[in-house]
Amino acid sequence: MRIILLGPPGAGKGTQSERIVARYGIPQLSTGDMLRAAVAAGTPVGLQAKAVMESGGLVSDAIVVGIVADRIEEADARNGFILDGFPRTVEQAKALDAMLSQKGIALDAVVEFVVDENALVGRIAKRAEETAARGQPVRKDDTPEVFKTRLDAYRTLTAPLSDYYVGTGLLQTIDGMKPVDAVTEDLVAVLNRYTATATS
Ligand code: AP5
């Protein structure tokens, strides 16, 4: 199964990805995690991405598409993957389409978490507090100021992807405001339609 999880910062993409990885036996490909790892390691990509990420903007399409193209070639992604945080622009979506069609594979679904934006800043603040309480480093972009820029970037550059994927017939929406377990149930109910199709 090859799916995309779509939604604004704090919508629950990462939380839900982690919960379904084992169930479907496919990896979570989070561009945010890959970029943070590159920043931490001080790689050339990390050096280019660091300031942009810390300001809440989007890293260039060329960099992110390159990272994903390499990652989906790895053995664990051969039978499927959960894309978390990618694509984030229509250009990235088109690049993904080209990448997959070159490999003769297709996406099964794009699942968008529909959320009340007013609740998201609270989720991000809570995550920052909880991370600090565990003694772990807090994401530099998890501040109310940077969150506003992230949300603006989402509205301007990423939200148009909903229409893009309506156009391809792949978009499914679920209510991301329910409690975490209820969101997982709804997500699994949607995804099981595709696994049922794949095995029938
Ligand atoms: P990325 O790491 O992708 O961050 P994001 O999309 O801003 O997403 P978050 O990780 O903040 O939110 P999430 O939806 O995963 O929610 P989560 O499950 O963590 O990107 C970071 C940066 O990297 C970008 O700003 C950009 O600079 C760069 N980047 C990444 N990909 C890129 C790309 N493709 N192109 C260009 N640049 C790119 O949940 C958040 C919190 O809410 C958690 O504490 C969680 O416990 C809680 N929560 C989750 N669900 C619920 C619920 N149902 N009810 C209550 N609380 C909940």
What pLDDT, in 10s, does the model give residues 75-121?
999 999 999 999 999 999 999 999 999 999 999 999 999 999 999 99
- Closest by CA to 159, choosing from 197, 191, 112, 97, is 112
Question: Which atom number of ligand 1 is nearest to the Cα of residue 92?
Answer: 34
With 80 as the cut, is the pLDDT of residue 174 above it? yes
Query: From its phi and psi, is residue 135 left (phi > 0), alpha (psi between -120 and 50) or beta?
Result: left
* CATH code for the structural domain at 2-26+79-199: 3.40.50.300
What pLDDT, in 10s, does the model give residues 51-64?
999 999 999 999 99
What's the 11 CA to ligand 1 centre distance in angstroms? 7
Query: Are the CB atoms for 164 and 97 separated by under 8 Å?
Result: no
- Best mutation site among 31, 89, 147 for ligand 1, i.e. most ligand atoms within 8 A of its Cβ? 31
Catalytic site residue 13? Answer: yes
pLDDT attached to residue 76: 96
In this prediction, residues 164-172 reach a mean pLDDT of 97
What residue segments make up the domains of the chain, in order of their start? 2-26+79-199
pLDDT attached to residue 20: 96
Catalytic site residue 36? Answer: no
3-class secondary structure, 178: coil
Please give the model's pTM, rounded to 2 decimal places: 0.96
User: By percentage, how much of the chain surpasses pLDDT 70?
Assistant: 98
Amino acid identity for residue 15 in this structure: T
